[in-house]
A and B are shown apart, each in its own frame.
Chain A
Amino acid sequence: MSFHPKMAYDATFHKSSRTLADPGPPFTFTPERRARLDEVLTRYPPDRKRSAVLPALYLAQQQHGYITGNAMRHIAEILEITPADVEDVVSYYTMFYTKPVGRFVLNVCRTLSCALNGAERVTEELCAKLHIKPGETDTSGTFTLVEVECLGACDRAPVVMVNDAWHECVSPESVGHMLDSLRTRGESALTGCHLAVEKR
Chain B
Amino acid sequence: MEPLLTQDVRKPNGYTLDFYVEHDGYAGLRRALGMAPDQIIEMVKASGLRGRGGAGFPTGTKWQFVDKKSPNPRYIACNADESEPGTFKDHVLMERNPHLLIEGCAIACYAIGAKVAYIYIRGEFLHVQQVLEAQIAEAYKAGYLGKNILGSGFDCDVWIHRGAGAYEAGEETALLESLEGKRAQPRNKPPFPAVVGLYNCPTAVNNVETLCNVPLIVKNGAEWFAALGPEKNGGPKLYCISGQVKRPGVYEASMHVTLRELIEGERYAGGAREGRTLKAIIPGGSSVPVLLPEQLDVPASFDAVQKAGSLLGSAGIIVCDDTTCMVWLAENLLHFYRHESCGKCTPCREGTDWLHKILHRIERGEGQMRDLDLLASISAQIGGKTLCAFGDAAITPVQTTLKHFRHEYEAHIREGRCTLVADWRARQPIGAH
**Quick one: which of A89, A111, A156, A165 has the most chain B CB within 10 A?**
A111
A147 to B127, CA, bound (A): 20
Identify which of residues 148-199 in chain B touch chain A, using a CB-to-CB cut-off of 8 Å: 157, 159, 161-167, 178-184, 199
Are A194 and B131 in contact, CB atoms less than 8 angstroms apart? yes
Among the stretches A5-13, A19-27, A120-128, A174-182, the one at the interface with B is: A120-128
Contacting residues, chain B, for A197 (C-beta < 8 A): 9-10, 92, 95-96
B12 within 8 A of A: yes
Q: Which of B83, B162, B179 contacts A152 (CB 8 A)?
A: B83
Q: How far is the CA of A2 from the CA of B286 in the complex (A)?
A: 51
Query: Quick check: is B241 within 8 A (CB to CB) of the other chain?
Result: yes
**Beta-carbon nearest neighbor of B328 in chain A:** A115
Residues of B within 8 A of A165 (CB): 127
Name the residue of chain B whose CB is nearest to the CB of A123: B430
Could you say which residues of chain B place their CB within 8 Å of the CB of A192?
Answer: 127
- With A113-B242, A155-B250 already in contact, the answer to whether A166 and B181 are too (CB < 8 A) is no
- The residues of A that contact B95 with a CB separation of less than 8 Å are 193-194, 197
A92 to B336 alpha-carbon distance, docked (Å): 15
> A113 near B85 (CB under 8 angstroms)?
yes
A194 to B98, CA, bound (A): 13
**Across the interface, do A94 and B165 meet the contact criterion of CB distance under 8 Å?**
yes
Q: Give the distance to chain A from B284, nearest Cβ to Cβ, in Å.
A: 13
Question: Which segment of B35-43, B55-63, B117-125, B228-236 sits at the interface?
Answer: B117-125
* B293 proximal to A (CB < 8 A): no
Decide if A60 is an interface residue (CB 8 Å cutoff).
no
Of residues 316 to 366 in B, which have CB atoms within 8 Å of A's CB atoms?
316, 318, 320, 324, 329, 332-333, 335-336, 339-340, 342
A93 proximal to B (CB < 8 A): yes
Cα A133 to Cα B336 with chains together (Å): 19
Residues A149 and B127 in contact, CB atoms below 8 Å apart: no
- Expressed in whole angstroms, the minimum distance between the Cβ of B421 and any Cβ of chain A is 11
Complex Cα gap A200–B249 (Å): 10
Q: Would you list which residues of chain A between 55 and 94 have a CB under 8 Å from chain B? A: 55, 57-58, 79, 81, 85, 88-89, 92-94
- When C-beta atoms are compared, the residue in chain A nearest to B169 turns out to be A93
The CA of A55 and the CA of B163, in the complex, are separated in Å by 9
A161 CA to B123 CA, complexed, in Å: 12
B91 on the interface (CB 8 Å rule)?
Answer: yes
A150 touches B83 (CB 8 A): yes
Given contacts A155-B249, A197-B9, contact A113 B166 (CB under 8 A): no
> Is A101 on the interface with B (CB-CB < 8 A)?
no
A112 to B: closest C-beta gap in Å? 5
| A38 on interface, CB distance cutoff 8 Å | no
Do residues B318 and A92 form an inter-chain contact, with CB atoms below 8 A? Answer: no
Question: How far, in angstroms, from A152 to B85 measured CA to CA in the complex?
Answer: 7
B425 at the interface (CB under 8 A from A): yes
Q: Do the beta carbons of A155 and B242 come within 8 Å of each other?
A: yes
A135 touches B163 (CB 8 A): no
**Which residues does chain A contribute within 8 Å of B244, judged by CB atoms?**
116-117
Residue A51, interface by CB 8 Å: yes
Interface membership of B4, Cβ < 8 A: no
Considering residues A57, A95, A161, which has the most beta carbons from chain B within 10 angstroms of its beta carbon? A95
Q: Is there a chain B Cβ closer than 8 Å to A43's Cβ?
A: yes
Chain B residue, CB-CB nearest to A55 = B162
Partner of A154, one of B12, B242, B333: B242
Min CB–CB distance A74 → chain B (angstroms): 15
Judged by a CB distance under 8 angstroms, whether A32 is at the interface is no
Given A50-B180, A134-B430, is A92 in contact with B166 using a C-beta cutoff of 8 Å?
A: yes
For B242, list chain A residues within 8 Å (CB).
Answer: 113, 154-155, 157
A164 at the interface (CB under 8 A from B): yes
B25 at the A interface (CB under 8 A): no
Residue B267 interfacial (CB < 8 Å): no
Q: Are B96 and A194 in contact (CB under 8 A)?
A: yes
Residue from A52, A58, A112, A200 within 8 A of B181 (CB atoms): A52
Q: How far, in Å, is B274 (CB) from chain A's closest CB?
A: 15
Residues A93-152 near B (CB distance < 8 A): 93-96, 110-113, 115-118, 120-121, 123-124, 134-135, 147-152
Known contacts: A112-B86, A149-B336, A193-B127. The answer to whether A154 contacts B162 by CB under 8 A is no
- From B128, B178, B430, B433, contact of A120 by CB (8 A): B430
Q: From residue A116, how far is it (CB to closest CB) to chain B in Å?
A: 5
Give the complex CA separation of A25 and B371 in angstroms: 51
Query: Chain A nearest CB: distance from B28 CB in Å?
Result: 25
Residue of chain A at shortest CB distance from B316: A154
CB-contact partner of A124 in B131, B182, B316, B426, under 8 A: B426
> With an 8 A cutoff between CB atoms, is B88 at the interface?
yes
A192 to B129, CA, bound (A): 13
**19 interchain pairs, CB-CB under 8 A:** A92-B166, A110-B335, A112-B243, A112-B286, A112-B332, A112-B333, A113-B248, A116-B244, A124-B428, A147-B433, A150-B83, A150-B84, A151-B124, A152-B90, A152-B125, A153-B88, A155-B240, A194-B96, A197-B96
A residues contacting B by CB (< 8 A) are: 43, 45, 48, 50-55, 57-58, 79, 81, 85, 88-89, 92-96, 110-113, 115-118, 120-121, 123-124, 134-135, 147-157, 161, 164-166, 192-194, 197-198, 200
Task: Spell out B's residues near A (CB within 8 Å).
Answer: 9-10, 12, 82-88, 90-92, 95-96, 122-128, 131, 157, 159, 161-167, 178-184, 199, 240-244, 248-250, 282, 286, 316, 318, 320, 324, 329, 332-333, 335-336, 339-340, 342, 424-428, 430, 433
Contacts beyond the supplied A54-B181, A121-B424: 19 A-B pairs with Cβ under 8 Å: A92-B183, A93-B165, A95-B164, A110-B335, A111-B332, A111-B336, A112-B85, A118-B424, A124-B428, A147-B430, A150-B286, A151-B124, A154-B86, A154-B240, A154-B318, A161-B124, A166-B127, A192-B127, A193-B127
List the 4 closest pairs (A to B, CB-CB), nearest first. A93-B164, A50-B181, A94-B165, A120-B426
